[in-house]
Homo-oligomer: A and B are copies of this chain.
Amino acid sequence: MSSNATQYDLITLGETMWRLSPPSHIRLDIAQTLDIQVGGSESNTAIALARLGKRVAWWSRLPKNPLGQHIAQVLRTYGVDVSGIYWQENARLGTYFIEFGSSPRPTQVIYDRANSAASQMEPSDFDWSALKHTRRLHLTGITPALSQSCLETTRRAIAEAKANGVALSFDINYRAKLWSWDQCRPYMDELATQADLAFIALRDARNLLQKPDATACAAASKLYERWSGTSVIVTQGEKGAVTFEGSEHHEVPAYKVQIVDRVGAGDAFSAGVLCGLLDNKPLPEAVQFGTAAAALKMTVPGDIALIAHHEVEALLASDSTEIQR
């Protein structure tokens, strides 16, 4: 590899936990077994992007024990570079327990993430010079919520990206169990303003803007302005997404899906959009790629988008879903 070639298409960083859930619809209070999934917005995006053929690195702090190794191995399975992980002795892995609901019974999540290794991430954990050979950096609004040192790590990542001319995307990804809108609004603004591209769900956009009735288009315009020219993608679930880059709005509809598992669709969407941008597509076209990736994710069980580039292309090209015998 020559020294002036790019090493990574994208680097991302954040916390990844064990997601422990009883099988089927069994309730947690009588469960006898738990399924292990590896859950983290940034690592989901990293895996999906690696599956789509991009060179991706994921950074985090993990406990130096089999639980931490489990997470690194899952990422490695799909080709994500995990050589930048900071391994901490005598630390714990964040976990969460999830009991899947069924309308009208809500899904219930019990977090047990306090004092995790990842929440103790520090700016000095990582070799920032890697950004010199990287095309994009992707961050989310979850990391700065974890701890002061995580916030500082996020700030350092942004500073390094800016210094090296690395394109920066930021996914707002508000988590109500970590902080309130009043607490997080200044930080979200601070970070999103520095990004080239921001992802935000319509509900979050309304809360951030304190405009409960804003349409997706209105929200996109307002955020573009508020963040001094950051391109904005407002997502609306089954209603698709809206992009705004300063001139006109593009509305991209979502695919109709026979859903197997909805979890992780947002991260697959981000991965699809970023894949499109890395392929030098214009943003609306990249968002189309993202909606196809999200649709395919929802046909696969688990948080991870086990899909391939050619499958996304095939979906974009055709609407046939018949079996070829």
Contacts and interface: CB of A to CB of B under 8 A. Distances in A.
Interface stretch (A65-73, A151-159, A182-190): A65-73
With most chain B CB atoms within 10 A of its CB, the pick from A70, A77, A105 is A105
Contact of A36 (B31, B99, B324): B31
A115 interface: yes
A34 B105 CA distance: 25
Mostly, the A contact residues are loop
A104 B33 contact: no
Interface in A258-273: 258-261
A107 B323 contact: yes
Contacts of A27: 66, 300, 306
Contacts of A127: none
Contact of A65 (B26, B110, B256, B296): B110
Interface in A27-57: 27-36
A23 B32 CA distance: 12
Contacts of A300: 25, 27, 105
A272 B40 CA distance: 35
Interface in A278-325: 295-296, 299-301, 306-307, 311, 315, 319-325
Copies of this chain, how many?
6
A246 interface: no
A92 interface: yes
A321 B23 CA distance: 20
A69 B24 CA distance: 20
Interface in A63-105: 65-67, 69-70, 73-74, 76-79, 92-93, 95, 97, 99, 101-105
Contacts of A67: 28-29, 97, 110
A93 B31 CA distance: 15
Contacts of A115: 114-115
Contacts of A321: 101, 103-107
A176 interface: yes
Contacts of A97: 66-67
A257 B103 contact: yes
Contacts of A259: 102
With most chain B CB atoms within 10 A of its CB, the pick from A259, A260, A307, A320 is A260
A175 B325 CA distance: 5
Nearest to A37: B32
A112 interface: yes
Contacts of A114: 92, 115
Given A25-B299, A104-B321, 11 more contacts: A20-B34, A29-B69, A74-B77, A76-B76, A101-B321, A102-B259, A102-B260, A105-B311, A106-B324, A109-B324, A175-B325
30 contacts: A1-B1, A23-B33, A25-B300, A26-B301, A27-B300, A28-B67, A28-B70, A29-B66, A29-B306, A31-B36, A31-B70, A33-B36, A67-B97, A76-B76, A76-B77, A95-B112, A101-B299, A102-B258, A102-B259, A103-B257, A103-B258, A103-B299, A104-B255, A104-B315, A106-B323, A107-B321, A109-B324, A175-B325, A176-B325, A177-B325
